[in-house]
Structures are given as structure tokens and as C-alpha cells.
Structure 1
Amino acid sequence: MTRVVLLGPTGPNSPEGHPLLTALPGSPTVIGRLHGQLASLDPNPITIVRAEIADQYEGYSGTVVRTEDLAADLRAIADAVEDATENLLIMPANSVIHDELIYQITKSKRGALALVAKEPRPVDENGEPLVEEEVVPIEEALPEIGDHVHEGLPVRARISKSRVVSVGSAYHAVTRPNAVLLGPLYLHHKHAPTLAEAARELAGMAHLLGPEDDLVQLLVLCLVRRGVSVGIRGRRDLFYQRVTSQESADEAVAAMAEYDEDRSRLNNAVKGADGFFTTFFVSTYSRFIARWAARRGLTPNQVTLFSIFLGVASATCFATGTRAGAIAGAVLIYFAFVFDCVDGQLARYARKFGVLGAWLDATFDRFKEYVVFAGLAIGAAVAGLGDVWTLALAALALQSVRHLLDFSFGAANRRKPSAPPRPGLALSVSPDTELRAALEQRRAAKQEENAGVARTLLRMWAKAGRFRAIYWARKMVVFPIGERFAAIAITAALFDPRVTFITLLIWGSVALVYTLTGRLVRSLA
């Protein structure tokens, strides 16, 4: 479960007239729709809202906390989150958002994650970027109280490629602000006491803050100044907007209708780091099979069992020792792998996860592979090609060793010490100069630490991965399951089982050496 805290609009983001706006599909009001979307996360959310408009938020499940000013807002948030034992989703109550975006944010593995929008660069009347004269390098820039506005929010946050660097307010100055924090903030419960403590401290400084300061940005300010790493993500191909009037609500509904939420959900069901063969010869269409299965009520476990059946059928065909059997086995082993991908994509698309399904998927991937080895060896004996069991057992042993090394290295990585905490800065300090200096010092120390031969090699190899050819070559050389099944299908259909096993042994040995070398270098780094 997730504890949901909704923040009533304040300041410039207060709706004109009634805060509950109509004309949204599926619900008569914005807040009603949002409650429906969040019910599966938290059926009883806490809503923190100003007393003068609190009546509009009554009648829904959960608790409504009435406040009088910004200081009371911050203290109410601290009270709501400090004892949390579940992860937190903090979101403005006037949000119009896709269900899929909520899902993606709340499934993040980051300790803290904020939805952001970068301030667009100014352009001329032809849409060409304006070149600012005498741009001061960021190292020499002075902190400022941002006066730009983007999407109704003051641009008072500095973001990098992966996280929030600094956040400002009417009192806190930021070096070169470039973004706004749109609204949803997802937080691991381990950071809840830190946020509560900092929010109470900031409440004592509320007289220094301005009416334009946004609550979400102030909360991220608290986290960053306490040394919490806040990751960022954009809306990408999904929709999010705060609405402040009936007109903006209608515009948001019209804009959201132009997005294909189901397509985004389907694309998100496909793993982003799959191998070459899986990416280009399976996932291009397997996702649509997953959607078809979901719409007919099929479960991932049923698809897994069908994949196992195809694997056994493939082994049976290979065992006939005939050319027709080899071709049929090759086709079946390919589709066994296709449905092995479909079961995971179906689980992610339909959001049906289970321990049994994970165990079946992990265990029977190996089973299908090894039963096909047996089928090929039997087929070779039937065809009179001689005894290839030695090759089959060698291939099985090699693959078993590779799996064992994969699991042991993963377990060792989980025992690695956590990274040192990020530097923070007292909320009483206005400019973020000291924070940026501390972050720069930390980066320099990390670079010095990474100056060894092993880390230099890893860094160079990582940079080489930016080239598309090297990226895919690295994916293929480790001989993942997609490439293994493809190698079995192609060599078994065109040649005899001896060629299949020799291919598996040679490619598998290269993969083993490559993997062991990489892990040894990582262990020394």
C-alpha cells in the first residue's frame, strides 16, 4: 500500500470559484476523479486544504485537514507523513493525470522521485532559439530568486540529468534555475521522518516565504537541503496538468484525449534493456499478443504453461531425428521464447504479479532449454549421427555454471555498502552556493576515487556503449536467452545437432570469459 497525501491548491494555483471542477470523463469533479484513480493505492487519503474551500473536499473517503496559512500547511504535512510505514505519494488535489503515469511514478525504485518540466528555451518569432549574449558559466553564476513562470509555477528548481540539484523559494536562492516541480512527489517511507522534521522547521520560517511558493516545491526544497537524493522524470508520452479554472479543466480534458494512454502502457510493458534478438525479432509484436491475452482474461501463468508446452513439443520434434522434425522444432522453440516474453509483458500490462508466476518463469526457462538439449541429443542418435550426449552435457554444464555465476554476483552486489549521503544545507541559509560547492567537491572526490585502472576501463567501456553498434554488440556477446534460443533454432533447422551444441559451447565460452572479466574488473574497481 501507499499513503496518499493530497494538497489543496493555494496562492496563484487556487481555482477560480469552486475548486471542484466538472466536465471530466468518469467523474463529475476533478477531485472525484483523482480519488477514484488513487483508491487502489490508498482508499483513505489525507487531504490538506485551506479552511475557506475545505467544504468542497468533504464527502469523499479519507480525512480532510483544514489549515489557515502556509505554516499550517507545512505542519499538517509533517503530521501526515512522519509516522508513515508505507511509501508516500504527495500530489496536488487539482491534478488531471493519466492512470499510467501514477503507476509508473509509484513503481519507481528511487528513494524519492518528482515529476518535473524543464523551462523551455526562449525562441524568436520563427521558432529559432535565442542566443543569450555573454552567458555566465554556471560555475560563476550567482544564486537568484527566480522570477520566471512556467505552467503557472515559479521556475525555482535546478535539475540535472537524473536528479534535483537545488530548489528555491521567495527566500532561498538557486544558481541558474531551469525547471519546475509539477506536482506528484513519490517518497520512500525511510525519508518520511526527514521530510517531517524539515517541513516543521520551514513552517517556522513561513514569514520569509511568498504567496507564489508552491507546496510541492517547498517539500522538495526540504528534502534536498537535508541531503536526500530526489530523482526526476518528465511526463514523456503521458499527460499531467494542474487545473485552476473550468476553462483550464476543459482544455486539459481535450489535451489528454490526444494521448494514447493504452499504447504508453503497452510500451511500458516491454523491458527496456532486452537483448538484440528479443528487441528486434520478438518484442516488436509480442506486446500486442500480451494485450490480446489481457483483454480475454488470460493470466501470465497460463501463458507460461503454454510456453512450457511449446518447449516440450519442440524437444519432441527434435527427438525424431528428421529434417522436418528439426524445422518444426526450430519453429516451436522460437514461439516458446516468444510466449516466454509475452507472459512477462502480460503481467506488466495487466499488472498481475505473483510469486508463483515469478518462480515458474525463472525455473522453466532453464527447463525448456535443457529439455531441448535432450531432444537434440536423442534426435542425433536416432539419425545415426553418433553420440552427441557429451556435447549436450558440456553445453548444459556450461550454461548451468553461467547461471550460478549470475545469481552469485547479483547476491554479492546486494551486499555492497550504500553510497555516502549527499551533502545538505541548512534551511536558514538563503543562497545555495555552499550546497553546490559541496556537490562539486563530492564529484571531484568521486572522480579521484575512480582514477584507478579498473575504474578507468569501466568508464571507457561505458562511454563506448553510446555508439549503437557497440551497445548491441555488448548485448549479444553475453549470449542472453533470446540469442541462445535463436542460435538453437537456426542451427538445428539448417544443420545437425552437433553444429548446434558446438555453437552453444563456443559462444557460451566467449560469453563466460567476457562476463567473468567484466565482473572481476568491477570487483577490483
Structure 2
Amino acid sequence: MPRVVLLGSSPSPDIAPGQVAPPAALTLPALPGCPTVIGKLHGQIASIDPSPVTIVRSGDATFYRGLPGQLVTTSDLAGDLRAVADAIEHSTENLLFLPTNSLIHDELIYQITKSKRGALALITKEPREEDENGDTVVADVPIDEALPEIGDRRLEGLPVRVRARKSRVISVGSAFHAVTRPNSVILGPLHLHHKHAATLADACRELADMAHLLGPDDDLVQLLVLCLVRRGVSVGVRGRRDLFFRRISDPVQAAEAVAEMSTFNEDRARLNNAVKGADGFFTTYFVSTYSRFIARWAARRGLTPNQVTLISIALGVAAALCFATGQRAGMIAGGVLIYFAFVFDCVDGQVARYARKFGVLGAWLDATFDRFKEYVVFAGLAVGAAVSGVGDVWVLALIALSVQSIRHLLDFAYGAANRRKPPSPLPSVPLSVSPDTGLRQALEERKMARNTGGIRSLLKMWGKAGKYRTVHWARKMIVFPIGERFAAIAIVSALFDARVTFLVLITWGAVGAVYSLTGRLMRSLA
């Protein structure tokens, strides 16, 4: 579980005239129990960290006393940065930074904290400017020629001083640090792996010594990301998508935010997030379209992922027994049962993600018995072929089993080797340097160095081809993932016989193995 640091001292929110209490102390009358913003936030993070660190300005400390955790008071922005450094420098747990005036869905907190990236920030980008025809307006000056600037535009009450691409923050600015063509703001939640805690603490102390160069509009969370990016830490980005987050500054914003939040279906978003995003074509369009609803039904009735796994195993064994009859009716029944065995194989993982019930035993059962179901079905098909007079297909069954076993070994070995490979380091730039020109130049040089060479060029071209849906799904299917394998067994066995089924499995499996092995060799040599 991450260590939570609540930031109540960010200078960004504007206090409304006559408002004495800080935004975090505003009440939310439309919600049950009429909680304060900070009270609701504490309730949400209690299961993550029951004793968070809260950093606030001395004048606001009264409104935070009595809340769980450690309260740290400061007098200025330099004190805020030093307090953050003191709170995190020796952390052995991942960290979650949240402004105290955040109104946020539980599911969004969960999605951010489960990230395996070194750092992840919630952002929103400026809408792209369009002309009267609806076409995106292209800037007169290419970004490579644009000059760094101190952004004065505002988005959701925050200065636009962040340059972000699709997956990563490129540069962050402040009243002193200039950014080339900023296009985003850091909304608030920031998740950080503990291995970067000391780096951030050191950078915060350095920036604290420069606090006289910063301005009243500089947001504390944005400054933390500035420290990380300038120290060469990769900060990934994600948007709100189908979930809600707002910072609240006054009672009017609080009422508007609660009303807007009520229009979001958090449970539906949680259910959608229970489905893996990288599934194959068959799983995406013929299973996950409805399996998520089975998962929610099962979770609400107390079924555990392991119990669902046992259902999947039982269906797989029943399918093998049907195949072993060798009769046409048995082959059709086996095809139907193996399809639903795969459906429940998907459901067990979706139940785990929806109900947030994870365990080593469940992961082991799921991985092990996927292979068991597949191989017991091979045996059932081979027995059925002998019974029905199709002939001896045990050799084909052993070849199909060998192809899949070798593929699984190669997948495991490549994954293990890839995890040991250290990531390419990002460039760093001193905090004392105002423009981000040097940072952008170093990133371009890094990009050019990585893209040189014939193999890398081919991989880049193949990667870009994936933006076309036909190519994307073709690449997913050619590797013959488990969904396509179970679909092939179900369909071919129901329509033909065991011999044809094994020939399809061997041929498609061999093509997928060659494709995967070629790609991995190219990536290893690039």
C-alpha cells in the first residue's frame, strides 16, 4: 500500500472573498452526512494509508487538527518543499500525493495507485484550437523552432506550464522555468515509486533554496513533477477518462463539482476497468462484451476468483469428456463447453479486479490450469478420434502440445530477460536553468540515437502500422493467443473432427511462434 501525502499548502487555489476556511474545509451538503472535502478524502484513503502526512500552512492548521495522521505546518512555499522532502526521503513504500481540496472517485485513486510505472500523474490537456471548418490549427512555428515561455494561460484554475505527449511528461515550468509550447496541467494526484523518493526529496530541497524565484501561481504538485522531470525520472500521464476529479476552491465550485460527479457512473467505470485492455480480438468482441456483467454478478454474491476458476476447470474437464465420446453431438457439446470454460477463465480475473481480491494462489491457479484445460482437451480429442474411427491422432496431439509448451517457455524466458534489461535513462537538466531547451535537445538526441539502424527503422514502421485497426487486430490474432486457441478448438471440432482440429492448432501455432520469435529477435538485436 502506498504512503499518502496530502498537500493542503498548494498556492494555486484562489480563496473567494470572505472565505475564511481553506477549500479543503468546505462542506459538501449534497453528499450523505454533509462531509467536508478533506473529511471525505480521509475516508477514501483510510484503506490505503490510515495515517497520512498532511502538509498545510500554519494559518489553516486549525481546520486539519483532529484528523488522522501527521500534521506538518509550514509558512511558505520553501517550507512546503522541505516538508515534502522530510516526509518522503526515507520511504520504503510507494507514494501518493493528493491536494487536500480534491474531489475524486475511489476508482480513480485505485487506478492511479496500481500503476507499475516509476511515476504517474493525472493531467488534462488544453483543447486543440480549431478553425471555422473544424480543422486543427497548426502553429506557425514548428515546435523545434519555438521558444520556451512562462505560460500565463489557465486551465481548471491552474497555469498551463506542462508539455506532455501521449504517454509521458516532457517538460514542466514555473514562474522561473520556461517550457516550450506548454499544452497541459498536472491536475493533482501523483503516484511515485519508492525508488525515486530520495531523488525527489533532494530535488525538493534544491528547489526550496530557489523559492524566491517562484510565483504565487506555482502549484505544489506541478513543482514536484518539475523536480522529477529535471532529474531524469520518467513521469507517465493519464487522463480522467470515465472518472471524476476536480479541485475545489469555493462553495460554488463545490456544489457544481458534486452535481457533475453525480452524472458519472463510477461502478460502470470500475466494471470496464476490470477488463484487460490488451486482450485479443476474440476475447474483446466475443467474451468481454458480456463477461464483465457475469463478473459483477458473481462478485456481488460473494463468489471469489478462485471459485470461478474452479468452475472454469470443471467446464474444461466436461468439454474433454464430451470430446472423448467421438460422437458429433459430443463434439458440438464439447465446443460449447470449452467456449464457456474460456468465458469463466476471463471472468475469474475480472472478478479479482472488480472486487480487488488478489492473491498468489489465485494467480498460480489461473496460469497453471489454463494449460491444464488446454491439454486435457487435447487428450479428450485424441481419445474421441480413436473411439470414432477417425484414426490415431496422438502424434498430432503431442505435436500441438509441444508447440504450445515451447511457446510458453519462450514467452516466459523473454519476459524474464526483458524485466532484467535496465530502461534507457532520460536526460536531466539542472533546476537552476530556466529554459527547457537543453532538455528538449537531449531528448531529441536520445530519440535519434534509438531510431538509427535498419532493424529499428523496421520496428518503428511496424509499430506505426498498428494505428490502423485492421493491422492492429491482425497482429493480435497472428500470435494465436489463448482466446483464439479456445475459439479454434470450439469451432473446428464442432464442424469437423479431431484431426482437422489438431492440424489447425499446429499450423496456426507454428505461424504465431515464428512471428513472435522473429519480432523478439529483432527487438533483442535493435
Where structure 1 has 5 or more consecutive residues not aligned to the other structure, the ranges are none
Out of 357, 377, 384, the residue aligned to residue 379 of structure 1 is 384
The Cα offsets for residues 239-289 of structure 1, whole Å up to 9 and x where unpaired, read as 100001111111111001111111111111111111111111111100110
Report how far residue 211 of structure 1 moved: 1.1
Report how far residue 385 of structure 1 moved: 2.2
Alignment of 1:313-392 (within 5 A): 313-392=318-397
Q: Is 1:77 the counterpart of 2:81 in the alignment?
A: no
Report how far residue 447 of structure 1 moved: 2.4
Corresponding residue for 1:502?
503
Q: Is the partner of 1:11 in helix, strand or coil?
A: coil
Q: 1:18 to 1:363 in 2, by over 3 A?
A: same
Corresponding residue for 2:525?
524
Out of 443, 450, 456, the residue aligned to residue 439 of structure 1 is 443
Report how far residue 14 of structure 1 moved: 4.9
Q: 1:447 to 1:395 in 2, by over 3 A?
A: closer
> What is the identity, as a one-letter code, of the residue corresponding to 1:82?
E
Report if aligned partners of 1:82, 1:192 keep a CA contact under 8 Å in 2: yes
Report if aligned partners of 2:229, 2:428 keep a CA contact under 8 Å in 1: yes
Query: In structure 2, what is the Cα distance between the partners aligned to 1:401 and 1:214?
Result: 53
> What is the identity, as a one-letter code, of the residue corresponding to 1:393?
L
Corresponding residue for 2:230?
225
Report how far residue 312 of structure 1 moved: 0.5
Report if aligned partners of 1:86, 1:189 keep a CA contact under 8 Å in 2: yes
Out of 39, 42, 47, the residue aligned to residue 49 of structure 2 is 42
Report how far residue 24 of structure 1 moved: 5.2
Residue identity over aligned pairs, in percent, reads 72
Q: Is 1:262 the counterpart of 2:284 in the alignment?
A: no
Corresponding residue for 1:51?
58
Query: In structure 1, what is the Cα distance between the partners aligned to 2:135 and 2:510?
Result: 52
Report how far residue 12 of structure 1 moved: 4.4
Query: In structure 1, what is the Cα distance between the partners aligned to 2:69 and 2:105?
Result: 22
Report how far residue 516 of structure 1 moved: 2.0
Corresponding residue for 1:422?
426
Report if aligned partners of 2:9, 2:55 keep a CA contact under 8 Å in 1: no
Corresponding residue for 1:90?
97
Corresponding residue for 1:176?
181
Query: In structure 2, what is the Cα distance between the partners aligned to 1:285 and 1:493?
Result: 23
Report if aligned partners of 2:450, 2:456 keep a CA contact under 8 Å in 1: no
The Cα offsets for residues 192-226 of structure 1, whole Å up to 9 and x where unpaired, read as 11111111111111111111111111111111111
Q: 1:123 to 1:468 in 2, by over 3 A?
A: closer
Query: In structure 2, what is the Cα distance between the partners aligned to 1:480 and 1:430?
Result: 50
Corresponding residue for 1:279?
284
Query: In structure 1, what is the Cα distance between the partners aligned to 2:134 and 2:342?
Result: 48
Out of 120, 127, 131, the residue aligned to residue 113 of structure 1 is 120
> What is the identity, as a one-letter code, of the residue corresponding to 1:486?
A
Q: 1:82 to 1:286 in 2, by over 3 A?
A: same
Report how far residue 329 of structure 1 moved: 0.8
Report if aligned partners of 1:24, 1:30 keep a CA contact under 8 Å in 2: no
Q: Is the partner of 2:55 in helix, strand or coil?
A: strand
Alignment of 1:103-252 (within 5 A): 103-122=110-129, 131=137, 135-252=140-257
Query: In structure 2, what is the Cα distance between the partners aligned to 1:415 and 1:221?
Result: 28
Q: State the TM-score, normalizing by the size of structure 2.
A: 0.95
Where structure 2 has 5 or more consecutive residues not aligned to the other structure, the ranges are none
Query: In structure 1, what is the Cα distance between the partners aligned to 2:448 and 2:133?
Result: 38
Corresponding residue for 1:6?
6
Q: State the TM-score, normalizing by the size of structure 1.
A: 0.96
Q: Is the partner of 1:90 in helix, strand or coil?
A: strand
> What is the identity, as a one-letter code, of the residue corresponding to 1:291?
R
Q: 1:18 to 1:502 in 2, by over 3 A?
A: same
Q: 1:11 to 1:524 in 2, by over 3 A?
A: closer
Q: Is the partner of 1:108 in helix, strand or coil?
A: coil
Query: In structure 2, what is the Cα distance between the partners aligned to 1:68 and 1:434?
Result: 34
Query: In structure 1, what is the Cα distance between the partners aligned to 2:2 and 2:322?
Result: 50
Report how far residue 131 of structure 1 moved: 4.8
The Cα offsets for residues 472-510 of structure 1, whole Å up to 9 and x where unpaired, read as 111111111111111111111111111111111121122
Q: Is the partner of 1:48 in helix, strand or coil?
A: strand
Report if aligned partners of 1:398, 1:505 keep a CA contact under 8 Å in 2: yes
Report how far residue 64 of structure 1 moved: 0.8
Query: In structure 1, what is the Cα distance between the partners aligned to 2:101 and 2:322?
Result: 60
Report if aligned partners of 1:9, 1:94 keep a CA contact under 8 Å in 2: no
Q: Is 1:480 the counterpart of 2:481 in the alignment?
A: yes
> What is the identity, as a one-letter code, of the residue corresponding to 2:21?
H
Report if aligned partners of 2:9, 2:80 keep a CA contact under 8 Å in 1: no
The Cα offsets for residues 227-250 of structure 1, whole Å up to 9 and x where unpaired, read as 111111111111100001111111
The Cα offsets for residues 389-417 of structure 1, whole Å up to 9 and x where unpaired, read as 22212211222122112112212222223
Q: 1:44 to 1:14 in 2, by over 3 A?
A: farther
Q: 1:56 to 1:472 in 2, by over 3 A?
A: same
Q: 1:24 to 1:186 in 2, by over 3 A?
A: farther
Q: 1:25 to 1:462 in 2, by over 3 A?
A: same
Q: Is the partner of 1:378 in helix, strand or coil?
A: helix
Q: Is the partner of 1:13 in helix, strand or coil?
A: coil
Report if aligned partners of 1:70, 1:206 keep a CA contact under 8 Å in 2: yes
The Cα offsets for residues 74-125 of structure 1, whole Å up to 9 and x where unpaired, read as 111111111111011011000000111111111112101111111224568x
- Report the count of equivalent residues: 519
Corresponding residue for 1:25?
31
Q: 1:518 to 1:140 in 2, by over 3 A?
A: closer
Q: Is 1:311 the counterpart of 2:312 in the alignment?
A: no
